[in-house]
Structure formats: C-alpha cells, structure tokens
Chains A and B, each alone.
Chain A
C-alpha cells in the first residue's frame, strides 16, 4: 500500500488524531459589575437602593428602586425612607414584583414632605399563596424630582421592617444607602 493510499483511506483517522493537538484558553472573568448586589458589601438578607448613585440635573425626574437582597418569604413591609428635604421631592411610589401576586398589592404612601417617606405595602393573598417566596427582587420604585443642586443621601430609617403571613418579623441584616447628585 503506497503512502498516498494509506493516507487516503485513513483520512478520518488522521482528522481524529489531529484533535490531540487541540487546547484552548481558560475562561477568565471579573464579576465586578457595580449593580451586582454581591459587590455592595451587604450582608443578606438586606435592603438597598438601586442604583445606589444617580447623577441628574435640576428639575429632572428620576427613579430609584427599593431592592431586597436574598430576603426570606414576606407578606408585608413598612419601608421608612429618609431623604434630604429641599434637595429632591417624591412624585410617586409604585409597587414592584416582590409583593406581586395574582392580585395587585395594597399600598399606602405617607410622605410628610419633610424628608421621611413611610411606605406600607401588603401582598394580597390569592389562591396560590399568602406570601411570596422571597429572593432578590425590587419591592418598589420611587420617582423623584430634583429641586436643588448638590448631593443628597437616601437612607432606610429605623422603622423599616418586613413581616410574613403570620405577622412575624422577617430578618433584614443590613441596609444600603443611596446618593443623588444634582447638577
């Protein structure tokens, strides 16, 4: 058998053998996305503002989400939000997915326009569940309008708490803060 015949009839074998030389690059990565809750120095379960920093302009509207990180199952929440009065004003608050069931959640917004927002939100039980499954979800979105230039901080107040369907407290170990920079 000549060389060429030998190669011709064994080309598939040759192709297979060529894969022996195959090596590739190892995957390298940096999980450094600033919006990743793992990069926020929070101890779960936690509540934080998303995004944690906002640059905006005077008289412009913007929004911030009140986010829960790895929360236990809950049925209601009282979110005590502290903001700098005179720097921003709250336009509205909208419930998000955390307390969403087949029914829309029940919510009470109490803004005394002095720098404290008390936001109460309740999950309305349906035929499936009387409280959510917990996790990392947005609880609500707060819409602001910048009314003066400068920086102001957003904080969770001491009255912030979550309750489950049995009215037992749901633990929140840490709270994040937000910052608004108005130009």
Chain B
C-alpha cells in the first residue's frame, strides 16, 4: 500500500515539475545555399558555367549565405541524372526536393536567355527549403557583351543577398525584382534620380576632391598621386598662409604704431620693420599665387584624367544626356545630346 502511495506521490511531483518546465523552441534556419548551374538558352555551356561560378563567388564574398561548393551542388546530377535538363528544377517541387537532398536551407535556380543579338534575360528564383516556398524571383535585362552580362550577374548576387547594389555596379542597372514572399521587407524607395554616367561621376568627384574620381574608377595609384600632390601643395599653401598671416599681423601693428607715433627715435626704428614685414607679405603672397597656379593646373589635369580613365557605360550611348563618339567614317568627334 505504501509502495502504491509512494508511486502516486512521485507521479504527482513529476507532474507538477513538468508543468512548470518549458522548453524554448524556435524556428532556426541556416544559411546554406546551393546555387544550381544556370540554364543557358542559346548560350554556350562554358559561358553559363563561367557565369554561374562567378555568381557563386560573388554571393560567397558577400557572406550572407554559405554557398555550397560547385562540386557538391553538381551532385544533383546523380540525384537527377538528366543531361542538361536543369530547367526542370525551375519548379518549386524540384528545387525543394533537391535542396533537401543536398542538405541546404536555400536553393537558387536560374537561366540565361538570349533574346536578341545583344540582349539577354537573366532569371532567378530563390527557394527556401525550410519554409518550402519561393522567397524571391529575379529578372534582369542585359544588353551588350559578356562583361555587361557578368555585371548583371553580380548585381543579381547583391539582390539575392538582400544587399544594396554598390555604385560601381549600379550604373545603368536595369533590374526588375519580383518579391513573391510577403515576409520579405522591401527596402525604402528613395526618389530615383537619373543615372549619372561613370565618366561624369568620376569627373565630378575629381572636381570636388582631386584623385577621388580615379580612385573610384579603380585607378588608385594616379588617384593617390593627384590627391597627394594637391595635398602637398595645399600644405605648402597653408604654411605660406600662416607665414603671411604672421607677417601681416606684424605689418599692421608696426604700421599703425608708425602712423600714430611722434618720437623720431621710435619712428626711425619702426621704418625698417615695416619694410621687412611688407616684403615678407609680398613674398609669401607671391608664393601662394604660384602654388595656386600650379595647383589649379594639376587640378584641371586631374579632372580630365578622371574623365578619361573612368569606365565607359555601354548602356549610356545615346540613351541619356550626351555622348562623345569618334566616327571613323567621317573622321570627326560627334557630340550627341539626348533627353
């Protein structure tokens, strides 16, 4: 009887403690991302492989997702051994299935389609394996050569990672993003100003701060050279100005004393000081004027240099403000303005 009673009491105590104990349960998702090889439509396989790998590298560098290595991701050929039939994973079911098999939290599938002679359409879908849904869908237009296509892929990497596209990539962005998940917070939309051409931007930057346009255009050595030269000249001008200011202060005081003075002994002693101070102010002022001439010349050269070394925007030709173009057939430089 006492044993039964003891068991009952023990059960009761366990029940009481159990009711007070809670276990924190949270839905925690990882950041493992598998980027499936992009499907190429009317594009060579080496090019799609190259672009996909560049895309992987960019996403990996952004450190938002842990991008699965190409070798592991391509194992899905083993799971689904269908040669060049990746487009089938465009569907949610296929992507989630592959994601589970690859042991990742996200899967990104996409394709690159050639639309015209120089026009490409890049599409991508980001699937969440944990939430079993499409998180985001991307579509980007690219016109031009392979470099432009690569640029668009990098932009897409930023979008996939949820990061703002940097200025160096955003010039000429033709991005349309379709959010399919309500949970994804949209970034604040600011007033969109017309895009500034890279050359003009570099020119403006170097106008404001010598060398900054070159640095922005990844020409760091000339940039730092211009910046250092101007800073050195500025320092020399500053030192000259301080010396001038000191001489000017002395001049003003002694000249004022001279004009007010009446003692010949004092006046005859002030006279050479005034002449010396005035000579000093002229000397330092002349030095500053020379520095200004040299500095402004270098500043102008720096502006022209920044314009020349900044990258040309392919998209920009004839579509926005203006374009300078050398026409070989007529042997003329043409200035085109477009609004």
Contacts and interface: CB of A to CB of B under 8 A. Distances in A.
Interface of A: 1-3, 6-7, 10, 13-29, 31, 33, 35-38, 50-51, 67, 69, 135-138
A92 B65 CA distance: 105
28 contacts: A3-B212, A7-B208, A7-B212, A10-B227, A15-B234, A17-B230, A17-B231, A19-B241, A20-B299, A22-B237, A22-B288, A23-B285, A24-B281, A26-B278, A27-B248, A27-B251, A28-B278, A29-B255, A31-B274, A35-B264, A36-B258, A36-B267, A36-B271, A37-B264, A37-B267, A51-B262, A69-B264, A136-B265
B212 A26 contact: no
B264 A36 contact: yes
B285 A20 contact: no
B307 interface: no
A27 B281 contact: yes
Nearest to A1: B216
A47 B267 CA distance: 16
Contact of B289 (A19, A23, A27, A28): A23
Interface stretch (B51-59, B126-134, B290-298): B290-298
Contacts of B230: 13, 16-17, 20
Interface of B: 166-167, 201, 205, 208-210, 212, 215-216, 227, 230-231, 233-235, 237-238, 241, 244, 247-248, 251, 255, 258-259, 261-265, 267-268, 271, 274-275, 277-278, 281-282, 285, 288-289, 291-292, 295-296, 299
Q: Across chains A and B, which 8 residue pairs bring their CB atoms closest together, nearest first?
A: A16-B234, A20-B295, A27-B278, A19-B237, A27-B281, A36-B267, A19-B238, A19-B234
Contacts of B281: 24, 26-27
B288 A24 contact: yes
B67 to A, nearest CB: 25
Given A6-B216, A29-B255, A33-B267, A24 B248 contact: yes
Contacts, number: 123
A42 to B, nearest CB: 10
A28 to B, nearest CB: 8
Contacts of B285: 23-26
A26 to B, nearest CB: 5
A2 B167 contact: yes
Contact of B258 (A2, A31, A136): A31
Contacts of A35: 261-264, 267
A21 B296 CA distance: 8
Given A3-B167, A17-B210, A22 B215 contact: no
Q: Which of A19, A35, A38 lies at the interface centre, i.e. has the most chain B CB atoms within 10 A of its CB?
A: A19
Contact of A29 (B201, B212, B268, B274): B274
Contacts of A31: 258, 271, 274-275
Contacts of A20: 230, 233-234, 237, 291-292, 295-296, 299
A35 B258 CA distance: 10
Contact of A14 (B209, B233, B291, B296): B209
A19 B232 CA distance: 10
Nearest to B242: A19
B202 to A, nearest CB: 10
A22 to B, nearest CB: 5
Given A3-B216, A13-B209, 4 more contacts: A7-B212, A27-B281, A29-B251, A33-B261
Among B251, B274, B285, the most chain A Cβ lie within 10 Å of the Cβ of B285
